[in-house]
Structure 1
């Protein structure tokens, strides 16, 4: 069937699915650091357990992308991941032993690795390449709105009942996710489109060929590795600094940081979808990369709680643009290969190296020097991502690949 035959019900449900997944895909996120501070953990210990989650995600992302390409049970894949995250984190709450905390983060990392390619696969299967930029913008806008809503609810629950309430909120959103997945009509998913095959390609390329013939995929991965090495620990570190200094309720503060960022991401995601439809993704990447070093310097050098506003608005700009640009540019580069979701998984694997190391990198510096030194160290790494993008990525790849879809 044509991907354009997908009903409005299925595409709207896909958008709402991204809303509910916002509180599931990343697990406890920054609230984990606050919870562990309350249990008496040091910054470097928290960094190491977050690194465990990152490494688990790192190992699972490429196989998860291959699974998303191969399986016709794409809806079931999302359901299993959502329920897994909810269950293991409830177990963590009830029995907060070190080995269970580590196990819960491994499971969360694996689930997060699978959800990204699964959602891209469903999106391509429903709307095809021609509708991808628009639907990616919708997906990300709803996802960021879901993050902001979940953060507000978490703040209210955390203020009244303590940070433990966040665990139960995540379980509730997992149930909503399952119900929404079941509302997407499986007969409307084009399974060839879902893995990047088109009318000119009849079978998937070999994995070796994908990397040999499409080197810009590796440049995207290397750039995002440096970006996430500088980015992943920044928000958790902000929350930990407040919790350690006992300046205000850390659950409320962390929720505020999330809300500011997510509300900025919504218009940025829609803007990215509009811009990329005519111009490709190169400039979107560059802007997202440039704002991160600025964010780190502000976090390190501007004192006071109000620093969170510019810091998290910059986070919203970067993440809002990359949320659309990353799957979009991978789908463009690998169009016709039948390996789009594997390619996204590979990029997530490479960037996962940076994300996995970020918490430990920043945690050690914060523990031995200061939180301010850690923010500057994160900003320095992020600046390298800008250099790599400017020197190595062939911007004509994004533009030419896009216009090939537009025709």
Structure 2
């Protein structure tokens, strides 16, 4: 009986939850994160005179630290009942790191700040996914994950425009001061979500009354490895990001060689345009995922990636490259909106939802990191078109693997009592 009363109280509180708070969290977190990553490398090389080797060391160390901690951080999010506090703490650390970059640019100072920012960046994805599941439940999760992704993409568009304006009117260095501003706003949005509205059992996919959920205190590593569809999904995610991650940088390099004076502006156009496409795609996916299923939608995203890679080889005209890059909005828009939903399907009742999200994020991070090196070697040896075709082959392998080995994870609503929550 006590368990019933415990689950009933959060359900009552969730009725008072304002969805606009979660919208604001997703939008403002994108603004806070986006004011660091894309601009730090350019600032250090162009304005502070850093060597590419020194920059490479910072990128490598911070990237390895982030990859190593993604899955443990997801496991910690599963266990903690202070998910809002975790987001606020991560925002505070990110703001301190950005201010540190603004103040000084010596090697060790930047290295420590970059590692801090990279590590706390691991917190946002599983923590927001946990809040979403804990607040919304499974019944409306598909629409809500699509809406989350849409507000995230909208935030990315806004911060790209704002950073360009600040960099133009003031300096590249001033862009980093946007981080504490948006971090403060994001923290306020996070704390506007009532703590009592979060069902922490649901937030880790351990539904009340589910026997598997009551065993969730056990170590989760075996739980992850024993779920074959999750392993298949992780491998497909690795291949998808291996193929996708280098495409935009390669396009940027082609544009830079053709139009050195306008390369940065055209790169910004590519980023903003793709994000603008991702926004409606995310909303569409959220509305259709329960009707059409997860697998058909994911196959559209996976199938579009090799097509995009091959289309880049047909012409290096500026307009053509930018137009083809818009297809990234479809592929990645589908991936970003559906991944939390598919992992929630696969981890239902385990209590290790956020740990699984961290594991998938680790796989995608490894794929993206390795592919940059491979693409660079292919470009040096055979040229840009060979690199595009190589990545296209990997993307085709990802699509075929997903089609052949990945099952549909949506459950029939008529036979799924858990969806009532």
Please, what TM-score do these two structures have when normalized by structure 2?
0.86
Tell whether the 8 Å contact from 2:34 to 2:159 is kept in structure 1 after alignment.
Answer: no
Cα deviations across residues 60-116 of structure 1 (Å, max 9, x unaligned)? 111111111001110111112223233323323433334444444333332222211
Deviation at 1:176, TM superposition (A): 1.4
Q: Could you tell me how far apart the structure 1 residues matched to 2:167 and 2:114 are?
A: 21
Q: Is the 8 A contact 1:117 1:344 kept in 2?
A: yes
The size of the alignment, in residue pairs, is: 406
1:286 offset after TM fit, Å? 1.2
Mapped to 2, the partners of 1:359 and 1:28 lie a distance apart of 20
- How far the C-alpha of 1:313 sits from its partner, in A, is 1.6
| Secondary structure class of the residue paired with 1:323 | helix
What is the distance in 2 between the residues matched to 1:133 and 1:115? 19
2:14 is the alignment partner of 1:6:
yes
Tell me whether 1:247 sits opposite 2:249 in the alignment. no
Question: CA shift at 1:302, angstroms?
Answer: 2.2
Q: Provide Cα deviations, 1:282-310, integer angstroms capped at 9, x if missing partner.
A: 11221111222222233344213223432
Instruction: Decide whether the 8 Å contact of 2:242 with 2:394 is kept in 1.
Output: yes
Gaps of 5+ in 1: none
- CA displacement, residues 124-151 of structure 1 (integer Å, 9 cap, x when unaligned): 1111111211211111111111111111
More off after superposition, 57-66 vs 302-311: 302-311
Matching residue of 2:29? 21
> Aligned pair in 2 of structure 1 residues 55, 373: CA closer, same or farther (>3 Å)?
farther
Structure 2 CA distance for partners of 1:32 and 1:229, relative to 1, 3 Å? farther
Query: Larger RCO: Structure 1 or Structure 2 (Cα < 8 Å, ≥ 6 residues apart)?
Result: 1
Q: Greater CA deviation, 51-60 or 66-75?
A: 51-60
| C-alpha distance 4-128 of structure 1, shift in aligned 2 (>3 A) | farther
Q: Distance in 1 between matches of 2:14 and 2:317?
A: 50
Confirm or deny: 8 A CA contact 2:131 2:203 kept in the other structure. yes
C-alpha contact (below 8 Å) 2:224/2:230 kept by paired residues: yes
| Alignment partner, residue 31 of structure 1 | 39
Q: Which of the numbers 228, 238, 248 marks the counterpart of 1:235?
A: 248
Q: What SS is found at the alignment partner of 2:200?
A: coil
- Pair 1:5–1:131, CA change in 2 (3 A): farther
- Distance of aligned partners of 1:208 and 1:143 in 2 relative to their CA distance in 1, 3 Å threshold: closer
Task: Determine the C-alpha separation between the residues in 2 that align with 1:43 and 1:234.
Answer: 20
Structure 2 residue matching 1:22: 3-state secondary structure: helix
TM-score, normalised with respect to structure 1? 0.89
2:121 aligned with 1:112: yes
* Distance 1:342-1:271 versus aligned 2 partners, 3 A rule: same
Paired residues of 2:102 and 2:174 also in contact (CA < 8 A) = no
Partner of 2:322: 309
5+ unaligned residues in a row in structure 2: which ranges?
A: 1-8
Paired with 1:335 and 1:319, the residues of 2 have a C-alpha distance of 24
Change in Cα spacing, 1:230 to 1:47, as seen in structure 2 (3 Å) is farther
> In 2 relative to 1, CA 109–159 (structure 1 residues): closer, same or farther, beyond 3 Å?
same
User: Equivalent residue for 2:302?
Assistant: 289
Larger Rg: 2
1:167: how far off? 1.8
**Structure 2: how far apart are the matches of 1:45 and 1:377?**
29
Q: Given the superposition, is the C-alpha separation of residues 93 and 375 from structure 1 closer, same or farther in structure 2, using an over 3 Å criterion?
A: farther
Q: Which has the larger displacement, 44-53 or 101-110?
A: 44-53
Q: Report the Cα offset of residue 195 of structure 1.
A: 0.8
Offset at residue 364 of structure 1 (A): 4.1
- In structure 2, do the counterparts of structure 1 residues 321 and 260 end up closer, same or farther at CA, with 3 Å as the change threshold? same
Q: Distance in 1 between matches of 2:53 and 2:393?
A: 20
Out of 173-182 and 205-214, give the one that drifted further. 205-214
> Hey, what's the Cα distance between the residues in 2 that align with 1:43 and 1:289?
33
| Corresponding residue SS for 2:311 | helix
Are residues 1:389 and 2:402 paired?
Answer: yes
Pick from 270, 274, 279 the counterpart of residue 257 of structure 1.
270
TM-superposed CA distance for 1:384, in Å, is 2.0
> How far apart are the structure 1 equivalents of 2:358 and 2:413?
20
1:200 is matched with which residue? Answer: 210
Distance in 2 (alpha carbons) for counterparts of 1:36 and 1:386: 38
Distance change in 2, residues 1:99/1:23 (3 Å): same
Identify if the C-alpha distance between structure 1 residues 139 and 90 changes in structure 2 by more than 3 Å, giving closer, same or farther. same
Query: Please, what is the CA RMSD of the aligned residues?
Result: 2.8
Q: 1:127 to 1:364 in 2, by over 3 A?
A: same
Question: Does the aligned pair in 1 maintain the 2:282–2:334 contact within 8 Å?
Answer: yes
